[in-house]
Amino acid sequence: MIPPEVAREIERLVKELNFHCYRYYVLDSPIISDEEYDRLYRRLKELESKYNYILPDSPTQRVGAPPLDKFEKVIHVEPMLSLDNAFSYNDLLEFDRRIKRLLTTEGDIEYTVEPKYDGLAIELTYVDGLLKKASTRGDGYTGEDVTQNIKTIKSVPLRIEGPNLVPKYIDIRGEIYMHIKDFEELNKQREREGEQLFANPRNAASGSVRQLDPLVTQKRKLHLSCYGIGKVEGISFTSQWEFINWLKVARFPIPIIVKVEKGIDKVIKAIEEIYGKRNTFPFETDGVVVKVNDFRMQKSLGVKTREPRWAIAYKFPAHQAITKILDIKGSVGRTGVITPYAVLEPVRIGGVTVSRSTLHNWDEVERKDIRIGDYVVVERAGDVIPHVIMAVKERRTGSEILPKRPNRCPVCNSLVIAEEGEVALRCISLDCPAQVQERLIHFASRSAMNIEGLGEKNVNLLYSQGLIRHFEDIYKLTKNDLIKLPRFAEKSAQNLISAIEDSKNAKLAKLLYALGIPHVGEYAAHLLAQNFERLEDLYNIQKEKLLNIKQLGEKTSDAISSFFNNPKNLRTLEMLKKYGVRVTNPDFKGYHYEKKPFIGLTFVITGTFPIPRKELQEKIFSLGGHVSSSISNKTDFLLLGEQPGSKLEKAKSLNIKIIDYDEFLKMIQFKK
């Protein structure tokens, strides 16, 4: 039995620590020192383990949960909606007019204006004030249970504390996001460790939350901002403004600015103010969210498919800056393609420092007439990868230099060819160090053999030491080889060796993708695995046999056939086997065919959807279907989103079956 005074001390410590956590992580204004906090924490930990009395909202419960095998599914009681976009003030005026029409009023409407956080939407479920569950948005209806991960984020309250009235049940929605500086720091660290980089803070936040091991999430610096509500019981709110104020009292982090304005003109003024400040925010924002403040009005306006009629996201224009091109160089990819890029005078664009920009291909450089020494407009849309929009010709001095298409490879100095019908320039040497290294990086990458720790940096290092040239060399590496190298210590060497060992049991589809056969991406590799049980079944394969697979075209079949008829490649595959690579093939149709109802079906997607396109594609893909980028008479379905493009007309003219997102959801529900 625990003495009552100890129980009281534990209860007090939990309350106190949670309060200081709130001061530090939500208000950003601590009132005790870190040492003092640590002292209290240690005291609590000591009492908890001594008396085995642990409160559910104890700060010690944020950490230490074991890794999961997979995420459980969570069905959202109220669907998590997405937002319609406005790209101009005109769109906003139209939005306001529509609302007035629907509400049959002429008076000014009251709106809230909040910055739109660019992260990952999350739902937090509190029962009797205690955090019970945290789930991702998923497709809006079903998400993933990420409770253990979310608990590691210190600004997420474990208990609703503060207001007089604690609701019996409440689903609170918010965004998990990463500060730009933490994102840059994380990418730097990943670069050092040879890991794949995140494209933007949003991907970094999302990748950090959707981690099976809470320890990884805990190490990432994530934040929460709450803005929405799902199912509630035992409390009610009359407006967004009232709800936001309740969140504040209940110690939830809320958007950095929330304004309430009457009339769309004032809303636009508020947007301008936020736009002017957005570069001072520590996080990335691509717009603001405008919501009808009054909940009764929201209710009567309702929802169209997946977007509420009472809210809209106004998107800011993309981030741009002007800077100087110091040089134009070529980088050599895995297949030898030489892509031009601009070396820029470093410039900050929307909080991210940019010093390099892709120029896509040499035709484009010429078409845009971009020269070395030019001042150029550089734009960064959602991603970190910036694009050169145009040269500022008025600023030319005459000393700018026209870039030359290389006739030799910038890395190995071999001759460069321009293939017929292609804009790309290609280095034709198979031994070109750049190509060899890119091939190895691709082989080890996550979607291929998934050898963690064998990213760009380590491949470069191992290559420069002469340790790896061919795929099979990876499997000859020993811990001893690694420990001698500057970037490795006992533990990191062991980790890489274990990762290599694990990759030996890859799926056939992954190996086929890893080999880097021209035109064979993840989809074609998957198809091959569905149709050929063993790797050896592909040896010396004839093109005709491949063409029997409906979704494989002429070019791809050719490339696969010539790959598997080249004795050098077959030797490589035999060597991989010799060094222990033993692929399995769970994708083979013989076993799974009945679970893959989309096999043989080709989808084309147009318009925007409540879930990212990539996810749609993956769904179709996982059910055996194929996604094509253009309509032809091979297309079976056109999946129609909001604001469709010209594909709709084309599909109609070819009499192709058109389905919308709801119908699609139904299709996959029955076909899971």
The residues that touch ligand IVH, with contacts defined as CB under 6 A, are 81-83, 114, 116-117, 121, 137, 175, 227-228, 255, 289, 308, 311, 313
What six digits make up the tokens of 333?
Answer: 């990819």
Residue 631 has φ and ψ, to the nearest 5°, of -75, 135
Cα distances (Å, whole numbers) of residue 352 to 120, 153, 384, 637, 666: 20, 24, 8, 41, 42
Terminal CA-CA length for the chain: 51
Instruction: State in angstroms the smallest separation of the CB of 308 from ligand IVH.
Output: 4
- Judged by CB, which is closer to ligand IVH: 137, or 507? 137
**Cβ 242 to ligand IVH, closest distance in Å?**
16
Contact between 90 and 256 under an 8 Å Cβ cutoff? The reply is no
CA distance linking residue 238 with residue 256, whole number of Å: 22
Q: Between 308 and 433, whose beta carbon lies closer to ligand IVH?
A: 308
Beta-carbon contacts of residue 279 (< 8 Å; ≥ 6 apart): 350, 351
Question: CB of residue 122 vs ligand IVH: minimum separation in angstroms?
Answer: 8
CB atoms within 10 A of CB 369: 12
* For ligand IVH, the closer CB: 228 or 403: 228
To ligand IVH, the closest distance from the beta carbon of 284 in angstroms equals 11
Tokens of 232: 């509630």
SS3 annotation, 246-293:
HHHHCCCCCCCCCEEEECHHHHHHHHHHHHHHHHHCCECEEEEEEEEC
Q: Which is nearer to ligand IVH, 244 or 332 (CB)?
A: 244
Nearer to ligand IVH, 76 or 116 (CB): 116
Q: How far is the CB of 76 from ligand IVH (least distance, A)?
A: 12
Residue 635 has φ and ψ, to the nearest 5°, of: -70, 135
Least gap, CB of 549 to ligand IVH (angstroms): 38
Catalytic residues: 116
Picking from 562, 457, 470, 558, the residue whose alpha carbon sits closest to that of residue 514 is: 470
CA-nearest of 636, 629, 633 to 600 is: 636
Q: How far is the CB of 569 from ligand IVH (least distance, A)?
A: 46
Tokens of 649: 């007309």
The residues, any chain, with a CB within 8 Å of residue 259's CB and separated by 6 or more, are 112, 113, 114, 270, 273, 274
| Least spacing, CB of residue 262 vs ligand IVH, in Å | 19
Comparing CB distances to ligand IVH, the nearer of 142 and 628 is 142
At 124, which helix (H) or strand (E)?
strand 120-127
Q: Which residue is nearest to ligand IVH (CB)?
A: 121
Taking the least distance from each CB to ligand IVH, the nearer of 258 and 529 is 258
Torsion sign across C-alpha atoms 246, 249, 255, 260: positive
Q: Which is nearer to ligand IVH, 7 or 313 (CB)?
A: 313
The residues facing 110 across adjacent strands are 262
CA–CA dist 487, 493 (Å, integer): 9
Q: Are 251 and 22 in contact (CB under 8 A)?
A: yes
